[in-house]
Every structure is written in C-alpha cells, then in structure tokens.
Chain A
Amino acid sequence: MTDAAFRVHREQDNPPRVVLSGDWSLRQTKGHFARLREQLAPLFADPQLRWDLREVERLDSAAGAMLLQGWQYTLGDRVLLRPEQAEQLATLAALPRRDSLEQPPITLRDMLKGAWCYYFDFIRHLVDFVMLVGALVLEIGYLFRKPRQIPWKEISANIYKGGVMALPVTALVGFMIGIAMSYLMALQLRKFGADIFIINILGMSIIREFGPILMAVLVAGRSGSAMTAQIGVMRVTEEIDALAAMGISRVLRLVLPKVVGLVAVAPLLVFWTSCWALLGAMLAAKLQLGISFDFFIEYLPRAVKPVNLTLAMLKALMFGLLIALVACHFGLRIKPNTESLSSSTTASVVVAITVVILVDAVFAILTRSIGL
C-alpha cells in the first residue's frame, strides 16, 4: 500500500476537489498524522471544496475521526465516499462529541461546596479515627475473653520489622545528632567558661526531647509508611475482602498487631536512640572540651533526674501508639487505586509526624514543672 497522500484537483466546470489516496491509517502513518492534519487545515477551512475519498485504499477510525473533525462532524454531499466508507464515517459521526460532555465552568457555589467538602472530609477523618480506636478497644476486650485468638505471630513479626530492623538507622541518626549538638554547644559554652554544663544541657535535651522525637520521626517514616502501604495494597488486591469473607476481623489481624508491636518497641527504641545520641555527645565533648567519659557518666544522673527518663518512656508509648493508629487509619481509607495509595501513604507520614510534635508540645507544657 502507498502512503497517505492528497492533491487538489481544479477542473474547469466542477468546483475544486481534494482527492485523498493511499493508506489512511494509523498503522502506516503513525509518525506523521499531526503533520497531515496541519497540511489539511487550510483546506478544511474552505467550505467550497469537495472531498473525494474514493481512491483511499484503507481508512481506519483514527483517520476517519481526524477528517470528520476537520469537516465539523458533518458530511453533507461535498464528501464523495465509497459505501463502506460512508457507513464507517456515519458511525463515527453518530458518537457523542467532546463538547456534549464538557463540564460547566466553576462558580462560587462550587467553590463553597468544595470548601464544605474539605471540612466534611476532616470531620469524617476524625470520626473514622475514633471508630478505629473504639474497634481496637473492643477487640482487646474480646481477646481478654478469648486469649487463644491473640495474634502472637503477627505481633512478633511487627516487633521485628518495626523494632529490630530499625536499630541501625536510629543508632546512626542518634549518634550523628549527638555529635552535632555537642559540638555546637561546646563552642557556645566555652565562651562563658561553663564547659561542665554541657552535660546538663545535652543530657536533658537528648533524654527528654531529642530521643523520643528522633525515634518518632524515624519510625513514622519507616514503619508508619510501610504499614499504610501494606494495608493499602491489601485493599487494592482485595486481600482485605478475602479476610472479611473468611470471617477474620481486619482490626484484630491487621491493626492490633501493628499497634501492639509498635507500642512495645517504641520505649526500647527511644532508650536505644538516646543512648547513641549521648554517646555521640560524650565523644564530641571529650574531643572539644576534654571532658572524660568517666566524668560524663558519673555526672549525668546528677544533672538529669531519673524522672526525666520516665517521662521519655511515657512519651515513647504515646508516640508509638499514635504513629501506628494514624498509619492504620490512613491505610484502611485507601481506595483501590495507585493514586490513592501514594497520597494516603504521604498523608500518613505527614500527619503522624505533625501529631507527634503537637502532642509533644502539649506534653512539654503539662509537665513543665517535673524533673527540672
């Protein structure tokens, strides 16, 4: 077959004709359909022209659609066609067109409606979250009556994934932050000759603040996102429905082990992270200010009262609980498509970190008189 081509015939008596020939199909003309249309554009604009398609060897729907659009969707008697081409184009012309489905422009009403939807969405999130917590409490009550149903295996898997696997990264980040903080503080404190107070300042801030927050941010990024994505994929692949069909509670099997696992490991992870941060601080203090390890360790309990460690552990428990709950909440809300999966995972991490910092601030105000 020959390539798609056209020529303009000008005879004396008849009006001028555009004669198309060759293979007018996507197969043959894949690369230059756009060019053909450009070349034809001035001819489309001329209503006097007649179009002759009888020499076309093959006309597929793509070429048909392009021509039809050029003719403003009307064939009339200015187009000469073979019968089967006429049938083909008539089918195309009968289809609904783009403008007939087009949406009306956005009005103020729509915008208000949009804002209302956002608000409504927020309320729905809150309600769902509370319902999730409620369901979790009910499941825990159920487990008290039927302890054999406790999903030990899942809990242990979550402790491993969320705790053991997080040890290297939390240690590394904690150590680095400890060194960085210590160096900066050392420079400032030396100016005032208050070298020794580095132990007070760093001990207090690391144990009470940085340890829990670092852990929370890292765990939200690591485990929180993983939990949301896991539940989300299970929704996409209908695994959650399969669970429900087997009569297995998704809260019991999916949410509870994650929450329990994370709540169990969070205090340990905070302790671990704080230890590494203090180690980094000790190292930097020794190098920068010449404070020996022995002295640092001996002086630390005097500078930072043990009750601070208790507060840190309390915070850790809360953060672990919040991160797991937020992750599961967003995971369960995922709609079965990839777009929703990615946006919910992002939202899960962002919301988890924001909530943790919010709670941390409130906690700091409430406990401002303790352990100083």
Chain B
Amino acid sequence: MSEAANDTMSTSEQPIVCEIHHLWTEFDKLVVHRNLDLTLRKGEVMALVGGSGSGKTTLLRHIIGLTQPSSGQIKLFGYVLGKLNRDQQRQLRNRFGMLFQHGALFSALNVFDNIAFPLRELHQFDEDTIHLLVMHKLALVELEPEHAQLLPAQLSGGMIKRVALARALVLEPELLFLDEPTAGLDPDRSEAFVELIQNLRRQLGLTVLFITHDVATLSALADRVAVLADQHIVANCPIEALGKVDHPFVRNFFHSVKQHLARLN
C-alpha cells in the first residue's frame, strides 16, 4: 500500500498515519468538536487527554469509522475509510487495533475465542498456530493460560481490559487506538502495560493514539500530548512543552503532571 512511497521519504519527517481535517461533530444541539485538526505520524505515541465528556471517545469512533462526523475529513494511512470498497476497508481495518473503553468483548465467547476471533477471521492459520498466538498474547498481558476458558462475565474489570488489549494486539497492528487502557488496572499492571507498549514499539515499530486520565502512564509513554478542550485541540506538543500553553485546562493538567514527576524524583 502506501508503505513503498513512505520508505523513500526522509526519516526525520515520518509519514502521516492519521490525519483529521476541520472536523465538526454535532449531536442535535450539542457541538462536541468544532473545527478540530490532528495529525499522527508513524512511530509516534500520542496521548489524547481532556475532561470527561469532552469528546475523546467520540473522536476515536470517528477515526476508526464507526460513526460519521457532521463534517470534516479523516484519513487513515492516506485513505478515507468511507471511500474504500468492502475488501479494502477490511484490509485497512486489519492494520489497526482498537481497545474500547469498556472492553467490548464478545460476551458469548470465552477469553480464548475472543482473542482468537480476528485470527480465525483471517483464514490464514490452523488451530495449533492460533492457540500458540493466543497464548502468546495472553502472556503479553500477564494473564494465565487457565483464564482462557473464562467468559467475559467471569472476569474482573482489569482483566477485561487486558483481554481487550490482547485482542487488539493479536493481528500485530501497526497502529493502535486505546481508550483508557490503564483505567481499572493496579499501578503494577499499569507499569507493565507501559513496558509492553514500549517493547512492542521497539520490536515492531508501533504507532499509538491513546486516551488516558492517568498521569503516570502518560508521562512514561507519550511522545506527544494532544489536549482536547473547548471542542478542539488546544495543545499538541511534547509533554515538557505543555507549560508554555496558556489555557486553563492545560495549566491544571500540566500542574498535576509536574507534581507527579516531582514525587518520582
């Protein structure tokens, strides 16, 4: 696909993976996004922060094509998702993984089948390989093989998150969208999550856009922070540069980040 063209470009200016232009979202009278622009480059780990109800999840749903914005354009890997035919859409969707805020596991399937689901849909692997890959992903998210037979209703909140993450990772995507990946995880597990993403990034060159309220995860993982407030992106910069942005939400947010970093030292 676009990879061939990308490789010829200079490495300092990485190709754009996800591009949002003049996005507006309105629910009846409520304007959630007003003329929002955002660009995500290959290899970046970007955190999307913003107050509760500021429209982060809605933005993510637009990006992966679950909902249509009122106006504006979204390109993934250089393509507008809605303009592709069915097979191309499917191919494009296989290139990114999505972790939903509430897991969105298939409630009738057990953990194993949930994770194996995307693999089986590919029709490329036999059951032995699928089993090995599922076990691998389970180990990545620190779940035991015994957990494979449990149904989603029998899992704890944090386990649901980890299974959902395993499912998002199973097709080895180059782009990951994570909606609050560490909400509901204990600090140890959050740290393990950070390490997992960093490892994957090193091994496979991952691009990540994640929503979080967790300052620790954010400061450990994010290259850039995009702040969604007042219906658009008010800041999009490395975390240290946030201090220069003059906006009440960003100021408060940066303050708590600084406090966290100070506590660490």
> Which residues does A use to contact B, with CB under 8 Å?
1, 25-27, 30-34, 58, 60-62, 65-66, 68-69, 88, 91-92, 95-98, 101, 236, 335-340
Q: Kindly supply a per-residue 1/0 record for chain B positions 188-231, scoring 1 wherever the CB is within 8 Å of any chain A CB and 0 otherwise.
A: 00000000000000011000000000000000000000000000
Question: A33's contact among B106, B125, B135, B145, by CB below 8 Å, is which?
Answer: B125
A61-B136, A65-B136, A95-B136 are contacts. A25–B151 as well, Cβ < 8 Å? no
Please pick, from A62, A91, A336, the residue contacting B133 in the complex, using a CB distance under 8 A: A62
Question: Is B39 interfacial (CB 8 A cutoff)?
Answer: no
A58 to B94 Cα, complex, angstroms = 18
Q: Are B153 and A69 in contact (CB under 8 A)?
A: no
By the criterion CB–CB under 8 Å, are B123 and A27 in contact? no
A91 CA to B126 CA, complexed, in Å: 20
Residue in contact with B132 in the complex, picked from A1, A60, A65, A88, CB distance below 8 Å: A65
The residue among A26, A31, A98, A336 with the most chain B CB atoms within 10 A of its own CB is A26
**Neighbouring B residues of A58 by C-beta, 8 Å:** 204
- B107–A69 CB distance below 8 A: no
Cβ of A338: which chain B residues have Cβ within 8 Å of it? 106-108
In this complex, what residue of B is CB-closest to A337? B107
Nearest B residue to A63, CB-CB: B172
Min C-beta distance of B169 to chain A, whole Å: 9
List the 10 shortest-distance A-B pairs measured between CB atoms, nearest first.
Answer: A339-B108, A337-B107, A33-B124, A98-B131, A336-B153, A95-B135, A65-B132, A26-B172, A34-B124, A337-B108
B91 located at the interface, meaning its Cβ lies under 8 Å from any Cβ of chain A in the complex:
yes
With a CB–CB cut-off of 8 A, which chain B residues contact A65? 125, 129, 132-133, 136
Q: Of all chain A residues, which has the CB nearest B112?
A: A101
Beta-carbon contact of B127 and A61 below 8 Å: no
Residue from the list B125, B126, B135, B203 in contact with A96, Cβ < 8 A: B135
**Bound complex: CA A96 to CA B203 (Å):** 23
Q: Are B107 and A91 in contact (CB under 8 A)?
A: no
Smallest CB-CB separation from A70: which chain B residue? B129
Distance between A63 CB and nearest chain B CB, rounded to angstroms: 9
Contact yes or no, B132 A26, CB < 8 A: no
Q: Find chain A residues with CB under 8 A from B203 CB.
A: 60, 88
Residues of chain B touching chain A, judged by Cβ–Cβ distance below 8 Å, are: 3, 7, 91, 94-95, 106-108, 122-129, 131-133, 135-137, 139, 145, 148, 151-153, 171-174, 203-204
Task: Please indicate the chain A residues that have their CB under 8 angstroms from the CB of B131 in the complex.
Answer: 97-98
Q: Which residues of chain B have C-beta atoms less than 8 A from A236's C-beta? A: 107
Provide the residues of chain B in CB contact with A335, threshold 8 Å: 153
Add 18 more A-B contacts to A33-B122, A33-B125 (CB < 8 A). Answer: A27-B172, A30-B94, A30-B122, A30-B124, A33-B124, A58-B204, A60-B203, A60-B204, A61-B136, A65-B132, A68-B132, A95-B132, A95-B139, A96-B135, A97-B128, A336-B107, A337-B108, A337-B152
Contact A30 B91 (CB under 8 A): yes
A83 to chain B, nearest CB (A): 13
Residue of B nearest to A99 (CB): B128
Q: Are A69 and B174 in contact (CB under 8 A)?
A: no
| Contact, CB under 8 Å: A61 / B172 | yes
Q: Which residue in B3, B125, B135 is a CB contact (below 8 Å) of A62?
A: B125
Q: A26-B171, A101-B145 are in contact. Are A66 and B107 (CB under 8 A)?
A: no
Min distance, Cβ A84 to any Cβ of chain B, angstroms: 8
**Contact A69 B129, beta carbon cutoff 8 Å:** yes
6 contacts between A and B (CB under 8 A): A30-B91, A34-B125, A62-B129, A97-B131, A98-B132, A101-B145
CA distance A96 to B136 in the complex (A): 9
Expressed in whole angstroms, the Cα–Cα distance for A236 and B105 within the complex equals 13
Task: Name B95's closest neighbour in chain A (CB-CB).
Answer: A27
Contact of A60 among B95, B123, B172 (CB under 8 A): B172
CB distance from A339 to the nearest CB of B (A): 3
Residues of B within 8 A of A33 (CB): 122, 124-125
In the complex, the chain B residue whose C-beta lies closest to that of A65 is B132
Q: Which residues of A contact B153 (CB under 8 A)?
A: 335-337
Cα A96 to Cα B132 with chains together (Å) = 7
Distance in Å from the Cβ of A242 to the closest Cβ of chain B? 16
A66-B171 in contact given A30-B91, A91-B136, A92-B136 (Cβ < 8 Å): no
Identify the closest chain B residue to A23 (Cβ). Answer: B3
Enumerate chain B residues within 8 angstroms of A1, measured Cβ to Cβ: 3, 7
Bound form: Cα–Cα A34–B125 in Å = 6
Decide: A66 near B125, CB < 8 A? Known: A92-B136, A338-B107.
yes
Instruction: List residues of chain B with CB within 8 A of the CB of A25.
Output: 172, 204
* Bound CA span A340–B171, Å: 29
**Residues in A neighbouring B95, C-beta threshold 8 A:** 27
**What separation, in Å, do the CA atoms of A310 and B171 have in the docked complex?**
67
Complex Cα spacing A25 to B106, Å: 27
| CB closest residue in chain A, given B144 | A96
- Would you give the shortest CB distance from A356 to chain B, in whole angstroms? 30
For residue A97, which residues in chain B have a CB less than 8 angstroms away from its CB?
128, 131-132
Chain A hits for B152, CB < 8 A: 337
- Whole-angstrom distance between the alpha carbons of A31 and B91 in the complex? 9
Determine the chain B residues whose CB is within 8 A of the CB of A60 once the complex forms. Answer: 172, 203-204
Supposing A27-B174, A33-B125 touch, asked if A337 and B139 sit within 8 A by C-beta, the answer is no
